Amino acid sequence: MTAACVEAVAFEELIKAQAYGLGFDLAGITTLGPVETAAAFDDWIGRGYAGEMHYLARGAEKRRDSRLPVPGTASAIVVALDYGGAEPTGPIARYARGSDYHDLMTERLDDLHRWLELELGRVVVGKSYVDTGPVLERDLARRAGLGWFGKNTNLVNPKLGSFFFIGALLVDVPLTADAPFEADRCGTCTRCLDACPTEAFVEPRVLDATRCISYLTIESRAAIPAELRERVGDRVYGCDICQDVCPWNVRFASEVKEPSFAARDIGGDIREVARTMLALDGAEFRARFKGSPMKRAKRVGLARNAAVVLGNVGDARDLDALGRALEHDEPLVREHAAWAMERITARDHGPATTRVASHLQN
């Protein structure tokens, strides 16, 4: 490429090229300012759909105007990183099977920040955000042209689907914005809404998180409502169903390309994994899930989930593990283990029945 051609390339295109060079799969630019979806987000919280996620209400003023989290900033460089949606579905949501994406994406956005400073020859006021502050990255991503809001609330890209993470670098550099993604390409399709086992969608693009399997198995620290436990099925951490059925993912979901997101060995079939999670002590939990997104559910949450999974897919062979869980140090786990044993007993009237009754009486 000649020097004249290089000079003709807009700086914004060089920024996006650098983002792609760092490994991101999508990149776009938008101008910071009042956030279009802030009012809907406030209403969503007000209707109680955030459940125990009280942190989402913090920093409301900053969330309503994307210039406020980092004073002096004018633009956002918004990126997406695919984590692979073509692998078989399973008990652990795809995003959580490898290493924690927060660290990887933040590191790359910080690299982009440093590159920008070198290119401009000055300190650039800015900050990287990856689910870590009062910034509605999904709104910024749509405004930067990366996709539209699907009926399952995920951002959907017409060439990538929705199995990707979103991050944003807010900077004090006035940049020419990309055209926002205005089209709604969901059409009349309602596959995601119809497929949800817990009927968590109040209406298209409105999710009651308190009924969502991902919320119930990751964010919630309380008991999983009894009426929803059977619907959790064999999902021990998160859920991909509303993405699995999306035609855009059926067509465009790809294999994992980023080595950090390659699935870790979870140790056998789901029942074996569940039994292991029930028995983990604090040190074992920390060692097993170091650097994994799954640590967010905490030891107690994973043990609770494991008990529910065994109640749904286990049999008499799992009763010993559940019986030991009746002596767990947390009442929450004991409660779900007892529920699981009762479920198995109801399905299996063999020799284990007396032993189950004995466990429950003790």
Q: What are the catalytic residues?
A: 131
Paired strand residues for 81: 165
Asked if residues 236 and 91 have their Cβ atoms less than 8 Å apart, the reply is yes
- Measured from the Cβ of residue 5, the count of other Cβ atoms closer than 10 Å reads 8
**Beta bridge mates, 168:** 78, 129
Question: Which of 46-78 are b and which e, b meaning 16 or more Cβ less than 10 Å from the residue's Cβ?
Answer: eeebbbeeeebeeeeebbbebbbbbeebbbbbb
Give, in order, the Cα–Cα distances in Å from 30 to each of 20, 109, 163.
Answer: 17, 16, 22
Distance CA 24, CA 197 (A): 32
Which structure tokens are listed for 227? 């009426």
297: number of Cβ within 10 Å: 23
The torsion angles phi and psi of 82, rounded to 5 degrees, stand at: -70, 135
193, 186, 111: which is closest to 148 by C-alpha? 186
Residue in the block written with tokens 């209403």? 43
Task: Please provide residue 161's backbone torsions phi and psi, each rounded to the nearest 5 degrees.
Answer: 85, -140
Strand partners, 129: 168
Residue 215 DSSP class: I
Backbone phi, psi, residue 201, to 5°: -90, 115
